[in-house]
Amino acid sequence: MRNAFADELTKLGNVDPRIVMLSGDIGNRLFDKFRAAHPSRFYNCGVAEQNMTGVAAGMALSGMRPITYTITPFVTTRCLEQIRTDICYHDLPVMIVAVGGGLSYAGLGPTHHACEDIAFLRAMPNMAVVCPGDAWEVRAAMRGALERDHPTYIRMGKRGEPKVHSETPEDFRIGRALPISAGSDVCLLSTGTMLPEVIEAAHKLAEKGVSAAVVSFHTVKPLDTEFLADALVRYPLVATIEEHSLIGGFGAAVAEWMIDNAITPRKFLRFGTPDAFFKQSGEQEYAREQLGLSAHRIAERILTVLA
Amino acid sequence: MSDLATLKSAAARLRGKVIEMSHAASSAHLASSLSCCDIVAAAYWGVCNIDPARPDDPLRDRFILSKGHAATALYAALAFRGFFPEALLETYCQDGGMLAEHPPARMLPGIEAATGSLGHGLPIGIGMALAGRMRGETFRVYALLSDGENNEGSVWEAAMFAAAQKLNNVCVIVDYNKWQATARSNETLQLAPLREKWEAFGWDAVETDGHDIGALTALMRAVPDGGDRPRAIIAHTVKGKGVSFMEDDNNWHYRAPTAEEVVLAHKELGLA
């Protein structure tokens, strides 16, 4: 995802002179092409994310389209008040791009985990929260964000995730769920980097004779309520799956919307991280397994609920 | 540009109005507003290239009241300069109005940024200045900070960034009245030596009497001055300046004046 972001940034920057890249002192060499093509539109803002976020707001107030970028906790919670007051209160078209969403950087420890950011950012007025499912969706999300005149948060994984699409999905729209595969017994709503894992879970379910639909529900805010209204009553079971806390995340957003709109699902299940820091060392795959977010553990829990 | 008498008269009018507004709304921060009236008058009557008829002119100078709690001084200056009708000042803090106790975002012409949470104005101003530089525009950005605001880490993040970017079209004015909300600023977090701190952070830092409008105007106009450093003006001020019974009395950080005190204050300001 990270490399797709840098490549798409260069492409978009070549045609849109308003795009400015602000980095919080990460991405060594990642932005070389953008920097070479647009030296005056790249700023390494140092390890000073509050200032970086305020600077982005000032640029947007003066007609530019800035992008702030660093590791997820540092581009979101570290500078949360600047996001709220400088960007969202002024309703500015700033793109906040996070690398290492969820447990992408599991091995770096809880300082670098990000399982609360969706909760914080979707509470912000004017903000769209987009969690692309693969590198192609990252590109599509960036294009979508540029079409908005409002703040957009794009939550990426890291690099080298399996690709789900083979090109930029044409029907990708911020705020619209993106069906990946059809099914009839269960509808798996995946947000963000869980998508390849969820597709794998659907394969495992198929082996057990369960037909699972898979949806890349990349936009947590605004929710695609039209899709939800249909899916929640159509499928025997709907599950939300995210690499984020069950408190305040994607599943919570869907549950809130159901309650507020008196929708009674046939069955509804949420997969996410618990209300606890994951303190063990180990990589993302291990963390997912421990937290019930690996493909086989997702499939097993679905089978239990359907049994 | 205006002569000194006009600037002094503007500052006195601002003081008179912020006292009226604080009384009418029973709002806090009167002493903070009085502290910076000469700086605000210098900016709006003596320094900034602004046109009330074109408040969104991309080439205008930007003045950001980073110490947003002095909003009455900003509101009064914008109204007196014609950015919006003076009658609007009567709606300050009223239910359903547009003039809250801190400046709102993108609701009124002339207000460059919503402030009130301290430590936000300078980063925003730096972003504006960089946007101008990218487009080859030569406008200047002024950010007025309180001394208490220098407690915020984001101020110093911004200070180092502006210096690294050699932003010589950015000017900070610190309203150094030696008080913050509940205590002496230097006894809270040690600011002194404040000029030397800004200098050490890479700024062309100077000290002046923050009530000497002539000196303030000259220092603010001389931005950029040909060097490659941003400018910091450490303006020594008196909290509550202009009204004898408010000066350097920090109770007026929160107190609002009575009708009788408004009359007395106006008399002292020569406005009666």
pLDDT-derived band at B188 (thresholds 50, 70, 90) equals: very high
Interchain contact A16–B (C-beta under 8 A): no
The pTM (predicted TM-score) of the whole model is 0.97
Three-state SS at B66: coil
User: In chain A, what residues touch B106 (CB-CB under 8 Å)?
Assistant: 90-91
Amino acid at B50: I
Distance CA A167, CA A176 (A): 18
Distances, alpha carbon A61 to alpha carbons A55, A207, B51, B62, B132, in Å: 10, 54, 18, 11, 11
Facing B126 at nearest CB: one of A55, A60, A85: A55
Interchain contact A86–B (C-beta under 8 A): yes
At A144-187, the pLDDT tens digits run: 999 999 999 999 999 889 999 999 999 999 999 999 999 999 99
Is the CB of A61 less than 8 angstroms away from the CB of B119? no
pLDDT beyond 90 at B2: no
Interchain contact A205–B (C-beta under 8 A): no
Task: Give residue A159's pLDDT.
Answer: 87
At A276-289, the pLDDT tens digits run: 999 999 999 999 99
pLDDT beyond 60 at B1: no
Q: Where are the beta strands (DSSP E) in chain B?
A: 62-65, 141-146, 170-176, 204-209, 231-236
Q: Are B123 and B157 within 8 A, CB to CB?
A: yes
Task: Give residue A294's pLDDT.
Answer: 98
Residues 41-80 of A with CB under 8 A from B: 41, 43, 45-46, 48, 50-64, 66
Q: Are B85 and B97 within 8 A, CB to CB?
A: no
Task: Return the number of other C-beta atoms located less than 10 Å from residue A108's C-beta.
Answer: 14
Query: What phi-psi label fits residue A75: left (phi over 0), alpha (psi between -120 and 50 degrees) or beta?
Result: alpha
Q: Could you give the ipTM of this predicted complex?
A: 0.97
Task: Give residue B272's pLDDT.
Answer: 72
Interface A–B counts its CB contacts (< 8 A) at 100
User: In chain A, what residues touch B122 (CB-CB under 8 Å)?
Assistant: 54
Task: Give residue A28's pLDDT.
Answer: 85
Distance CA B17, CA A202 (A): 69
Is the CB of A46 less than 8 angstroms away from the CB of B160? yes
At A96-138, the pLDDT tens digits run: 999 999 999 999 999 999 999 999 999 999 999 999 999 999 9
At B190-213, the pLDDT tens digits run: 999 999 999 999 999 999 999 999
Facing A58 at nearest CB: one of B58, B117, B124: B124
